[in-house]
A and B are shown apart, each in its own frame.
Chain A
Amino acid sequence: MGVMENRFEENVLTTSVDWVFNWARRSSLWWLQFGLACCAIEMIAAMQPRFDMGERFGMLFRASPRQADLMIVAGTVTRKMAPVVRTLYDQMSEPKWVISMGSCANIGGPFDTYAVVQGVDQVIPVDVYVPGCPPVPEALYYGVLELQNKVIKYDRVLRKEGQEAADAQREEDRIATGEAMGRPVAAAAR
């Protein structure tokens, strides 16, 4: 068979379903192909053979928001474009993440004018900010790796209902797990 054969005792791997799902999500982030301005050229360069971001991180760009779970906002968001960005974000299915790439998407960059939204975080929630004008592909890598660290800790309840609900849910899970394994668990003293 292979090198693994007979090297381990017959065993069982315990893990949480959430972790497995998150591990799968982290390793195959499909992103919405969505270039706005200068940063889009660097994003394309990151995709191309020299940097090869897609193949390395299991990423694949999709032209449709319905099939994507990561949006890289690469470039300046203008007032005319802001509703479009919002619509695209709304069309993506949960769970979804956003990387804001470049100074323009972060804070408006050098364009502090009548036409430019001063940061895409005024339109959609952002998970990772990548600084640079434009960020070199390596910087985008770092952003993606940071996002992967975030995806592995993804908690649906936390994301949707906030910290308090997430704590309550975790507490409930802890008690339920304990009871299932036959040992009563005391409620946390808080």
Chain B
Amino acid sequence: MADEQDLQPTASPDDVVTADEDNPWLTEIAEQQLTEPAHDKTGIAKVHPSLVLTGFWGPLSEDHPAHVALMTAFGDRVKEIAFFRDEVTIRVDPSIWVDAHVLLRDDADLAYRMLSDLTAVDMLKLRAAPRFDVVSQLYSIKKRWRLRLKGGIEDGELIETLTSVYAAAGWLEREAFDMFGITFEGHPDLRRMLLADDWEEGHPLRKDYPIRGYSQYVEPGFEGGAAPRVKDNRRL
């Protein structure tokens, strides 16, 4: 795929990113985050600067190279870029889900070659539509940067599989299918993974799925032996 050089990091661990003339964005964003009124009522808790000034996710601004590259290629189908602490999240339209990953992986400078994680979030209680966020966490060994991509899809909508881009996506997408019922179009082996393959009771990590499921397992002949259930007053 690429020569040996690309597989080794170019940045040295001693290169700690600090706010100076070269990186004015750091000061700016850091000040913004630090002066933000804290969530709590007392306002005593402040965000510790060392959690913001890491530089582990690249520049905290719209000039982030990944954002620039995506904007150049896809224009307004790149929805938004968000910052929290030192993290960068780019939300893209699900129609460019695979293309965006291919672009970031093959970009010679960025080289987001590793898919750290792929999962989904059920946004049922947070917004009206779309229902799910598919979230991927990328890592660039060359740059030592992380990046998070998000794509929102409705329940029942298909999203293209990343298995052609990253081999790691195989099991991660199977798990997302198992837990959320998201169908990844073109996945070679999309079946139940953590739950039994003939599980019929829906997808447990959806917000409308009760934590205890819909039925309890009792071995035949042991019906009376089950311990009495405590009343469930927890949420869901």
Contact = CB atoms under 8 A, between A and B. Distances in A.
Interface stretch (B18-26, B83-91, B93-101, B203-211): B203-211
A80 B213 contact: no
A114 B196 contact: no
Interface residues of B, number: 19
A20 interface: no
Contacts of A79: 196, 217
Contacts of A121: 222, 225
B158 interface: no
A115 B195 contact: yes
Interface in A95-122: 107, 112-115, 117-119, 121-122
A153 interface: no
Interface in A42-87: 79-80, 82, 86
B14 interface: no
A123 interface: yes
Interface in B173-199: 194-196
A115 B227 contact: no
B226 A114 contact: no
Contacts of A113: 204, 211-213
A123 B219 contact: yes
Contacts of B209: 114
Contacts of A118: 216, 226-227
A113 B214 CA distance: 10
Interface residues of A, number: 16
B195 A80 contact: yes
A97 B58 CA distance: 60
B200 interface: no
A82 B226 CA distance: 14
Given A113-B212, A114-B201, A107 B217 contact: no
Given A79-B196, A107-B227, A122-B217, A114 B212 contact: yes
B195 A122 contact: no
A112 B211 contact: yes
B222 A115 contact: no
Contacts of B218: 122
A86 B212 CA distance: 22
B208 to A, nearest CB: 13
Interface in A113-138: 113-115, 117-119, 121-124
B225 A122 contact: yes
From B201, B204, B216, B219, name the one whose CB has the most chain A CB atoms within 10 angstroms.
B219
A78 to B, nearest CB: 9
A68 B156 CA distance: 49
Given A80-B195, A122-B218, A114 B211 contact: yes
From B210, B213, B217, name the one whose CB has the most chain A CB atoms within 10 angstroms.
B217
Contact of A117 (B194, B201, B211, B217): B217
A114 B225 contact: no
Interface in B59-118: none
A122 B224 CA distance: 9
B222 A122 contact: yes
Contact of B196 (A80, A112, A123): A80
Given A86-B219, A114-B214, A115-B194, 4 more contacts: A114-B213, A122-B226, A123-B219, A123-B222
25 contacts: A79-B196, A80-B195, A82-B219, A107-B227, A112-B212, A113-B204, A114-B204, A114-B209, A114-B210, A114-B213, A114-B214, A115-B195, A115-B204, A117-B217, A118-B226, A118-B227, A119-B227, A121-B222, A121-B225, A122-B218, A122-B219, A122-B225, A123-B219, A123-B222, A124-B219
3 tightest Cβ-Cβ pairs between the two chains A and B? A114-B213, A123-B219, A80-B196
